[in-house]
């Protein structure tokens, strides 16, 4: 019997809103400092979308670039990972598909916080393995200012906005660019560690009756930090074993850009040298579900991901949810930024 097809990375794109927001702009309204944000999170600036630019707009822009990078003008499905959809209902992905000229294809959102992109690529790989789809566009996009309280110093300095996207196509399991086995999981007992309390089915009240701030993200940062390091380290280790690799084989660690201290702690625990851990948090902040595809695009564009590199991807975020997988970086893939 033939092995099921693998999901092979054939296109990569990113879109960042042009407006740069340096720490100094946040310091003007928050009890914080440029030094604190740089030292405790590793961010110098982030991008914010203009008020009339939504998650769907950014997703469509990044998706178009990923399809251009793959040299394709159609896909069988569009998956959008986001925690900041354009509306609570409907999902944003069908709108994105329509905007891309793909009206009629299957399209849905994946809500798995900062792990959403890897959850979505995993779903796409399943669609490809089952023969349901031959080519899938997977996008991660976030407009975090739609859910972050600009006056909350515990969350406002962390998040940035943008979108990244990949095209995955059916191919042989051992092809370069084929996604490896996935290690993933969740812990809903800590659902309240990163939560937007209002706006859903629990706590059904109008905006005017909701407790102050309940339409914004509440995060127990310190606790999330500890779980992030533990879960990302364990998932990354298991993904390497599942791929049949050993940790010293890993050429590049592509970790969710949650906080530079988190990625450094994970890399240290795994024994991956700092020079093998591409990072863009300094320039774009924590872009949640957009973080991994944005980092892939930036690292590829900088020549930091070379054909044949063994790449380990890992993410963690609200849910709590985490995921890790592997791939060998393919030749001939040009990111479109």
Residues that bind ligand UT7 (CB under 6 A): 32, 36, 40-41, 114, 153-154, 157-158, 194, 221-222, 224-225, 228, 258-259, 262, 286, 288, 317
Three-state secondary structure readout of 140-205: EEECHHHCCCCCCCCCCCCECCEEEEEEEEEECCCCCCECCCCEEEECHHHHHHEECCCCCCCCCC
Query: Active site residue: 23, 256, 277, 280, which one?
Result: 256
Query: Active site residue: 114, 216, 259, 277, which one?
Result: 114
Closest residue to ligand UT7, judged by C-beta, is 221
- C-alpha pair distances (Å), 138 with each of 69, 120, 125, 155, 318: 13, 7, 10, 27, 19
121's tokens: 């690529």
9's tokens: 């990375």
Nearer residue to ligand UT7 within complex by CB, 193 or 210: 193
Answer for the pair 142, 162: CB distance below 8 angstroms, yes or no: yes
Contacts of 164 (CB under 8 A, 6+ apart): 12, 13, 14, 15, 62, 117, 139, 140, 141, 290, 291, 292, 293, 294, 295, 296, 297
Active site residue 87: no
| H-helix segments, 41-175 | 55-70, 93-99, 116-129
Answer for the pair 67, 137: CB distance below 8 angstroms, yes or no: yes
173's tokens: 């399991």
Q: How far is the CB of 182 from ligand UT7 (least distance, A)?
A: 19
d(CA 39, CA 332): 37
**What backbone phi and psi angles, to 5 degrees, belong to 325?**
-155, 180
Q: How far is the CB of 232 from ligand UT7 (least distance, A)?
A: 9
Active site residue 280: no
d(CA 12, CA 64): 10
Contacts of 286 (CB under 8 A, 6+ apart): 41, 43, 114, 158, 159, 160, 256, 257, 258, 259
Q: Which residues of 75-95 are buried (b: 16+ CB within 10 A; e: fewer)?
A: bbbbbbbbbbbbeeeebbbbb
Q: How far is the CB of 291 from ligand UT7 (least distance, A)?
A: 7
Nearer residue to ligand UT7 within complex by CB, 99 or 218: 218
Nearer residue to ligand UT7 within complex by CB, 40 or 237: 40
Query: Active site residue: 23, 216, 286, 298, which one?
Result: 286
Nearer residue to ligand UT7 within complex by CB, 36 or 245: 36
Q: How far is the CB of 41 from ligand UT7 (least distance, A)?
A: 5
16's tokens: 């960042």
d(CA 318, CA 322): 9
Q: How far is the CB of 40 from ligand UT7 (least distance, A)?
A: 5
Active site residue 259: no
Residues known to be catalytic = 114, 256, 286
């Amino acid at each position: 019997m033939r092995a099921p097809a693998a999901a092979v990375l054939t296109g990569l794109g990113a879109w960042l809103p042009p407006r740069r927001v340096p720490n100094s702009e946040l310091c003007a309204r928050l009890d914080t400092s440029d030094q604190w944000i740089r030292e405790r999170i590793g961010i110098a600036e982030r991008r914010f979308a203009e008020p009339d630019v939504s998650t769907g707009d950014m997703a469509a822009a990044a998706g178009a670039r990923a399809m251009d990078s793959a040299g394709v003008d159609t896909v069988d499905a569009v998956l959008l990972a986001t925690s900041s959809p354009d509306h609570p209902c409907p999902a944003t992905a069908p709108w994105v598909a329509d905007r891309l000229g793909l009206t009629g294809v299957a399209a849905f959102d994946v809500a798995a916080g900062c792990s959403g992109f890897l959850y979505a690529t995993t779903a796409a790989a399943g669609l490809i393995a089952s023969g349901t789809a031959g080519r899938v566009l997977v996008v991660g996009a976030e407009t975090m200012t739609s859910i972050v309280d600009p006056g909350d110093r515990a969350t406002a300095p962390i998040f940035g906005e943008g979108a990244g996207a990949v095209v995955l196509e059916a191919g042989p399991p051992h092809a370069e660019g084929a996604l490896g086995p996935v290690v993933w999981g969740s812990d809903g007992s800590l659902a309240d560690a990163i939560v937007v309390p209002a706006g859903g089915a629990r706590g059904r009240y109008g905006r005017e009756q909701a407790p102050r701030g309940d339409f914004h993200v509440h995060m127990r940062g310190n606790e999330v930090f500890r779980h992030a390091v533990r879960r990302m380290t364990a998932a990354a280790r298991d993904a390497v074993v599942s791929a049949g690799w050993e940790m010293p084989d890993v050429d590049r660690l592509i970790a969710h850009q949650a906080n530079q201290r988190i990625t450094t702690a994970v890399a240290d625990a795994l024994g991956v040298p700092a020079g093998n851990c591409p990072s863009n948090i300094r320039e774009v902040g924590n872009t949640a579900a957009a973080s991994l595809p944005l980092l892939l695009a930036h690292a590829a564009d900088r020549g930091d991901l070379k054909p044949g590199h063994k790449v380990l991807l890992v993410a963690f975020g609200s849910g709590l949810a985490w995921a890790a997988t592997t791939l060998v970086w393919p030749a001939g893939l040009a990111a479109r930024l």
